[in-house]
Chain A
């Protein structure tokens, strides 16, 4: 059973790594941010699977912390994007 959970961990991490290709080639910044979002949720799933396979209790707390912090990077991205858009739209009007 532990081997199955370890294999699932590696699979989820491989999916996250594939998704990170989008950071390199994503046509716009929103796509890059989505890859970071995938890294957040996939990383949490991998941590939980690893915790179940290894039995290290504190790893759940690490996943909990990541889940709390998941939103902040994207909120900062959107905030920066709207500010620069306002600055670009300003002179045109």
Chain B
């Protein structure tokens, strides 16, 4: 059981780190503002979700697990709203 939980932690955290790498590379390499916004918001939220999934087996209590999930849900909400706002701002004032 512990080995399975450790395997889940390692796999999910590694996948999350990969998505953070993908988000950063996209932010630095993509050609224009809207594609950069696309790369950043999707990849980072997926990376954070995978990190949270990987850390869930290591939380000692149910409350701590709910806190982790709550952090992820709040970041999803904030990031989806903010990406819409930034995209509208970027469309109104092109560089």
Least CB distance, A13 to chain B, in whole angstroms = 10
Main secondary structure of the interface of B (DSSP, over half): helix
Q: Please, which residues of chain A bring their CB within 8 A of the CB of B41?
A: 37
Q: Please, which residues of chain B bring their CB within 8 A of the CB of A8?
A: 13-14, 16-17, 51
Least CB distance, A3 to chain B, in whole angstroms = 12
A1-57 at interface with B (beta carbon < 8 Å): 1, 4-5, 8, 11-12, 15-16, 18-19, 21-22, 27-28, 30-31, 33-35, 37-38, 40-42, 44-45, 48-49, 51-52, 57
Least CB distance, B13 to chain A, in whole angstroms = 5
Least CB distance, A26 to chain B, in whole angstroms = 9
Known: A48-B68, A74-B85, A78-B86. A5 touches B13 (CB 8 A): yes
Q: CA of A38 to CA of B24 in the docked complex: distance in angstroms?
A: 8
Q: Please, which residues of chain A bring their CB within 8 A of the CB of B10?
A: 4
Query: Contact: B85 with A45, CB < 8 Å?
Result: no
Q: A60's closest neighbor in chain B, by CB? A: B67
Considering residues A30, A67, A78, A81, which has the most beta carbons from chain B within 10 angstroms of its beta carbon? A30
Q: B45's closest neighbor in chain A, by CB? A: A41
Interface residues of A (CB under 8 A from B): 1, 4-5, 8, 11-12, 15-16, 18-19, 21-22, 27-28, 30-31, 33-35, 37-38, 40-42, 44-45, 48-49, 51-52, 57, 60-61, 63-64, 67-68, 70-71, 74-75, 77-78, 81-82, 85
Interface residues of B (CB under 8 A from A): 6, 9-10, 13-14, 16-17, 20-21, 23-24, 27-28, 33, 36-37, 40-41, 44-45, 47-48, 51-52, 55, 58-59, 64, 67-68, 70-71, 74-75, 77-79, 81-82, 85-86, 88-90, 92-95
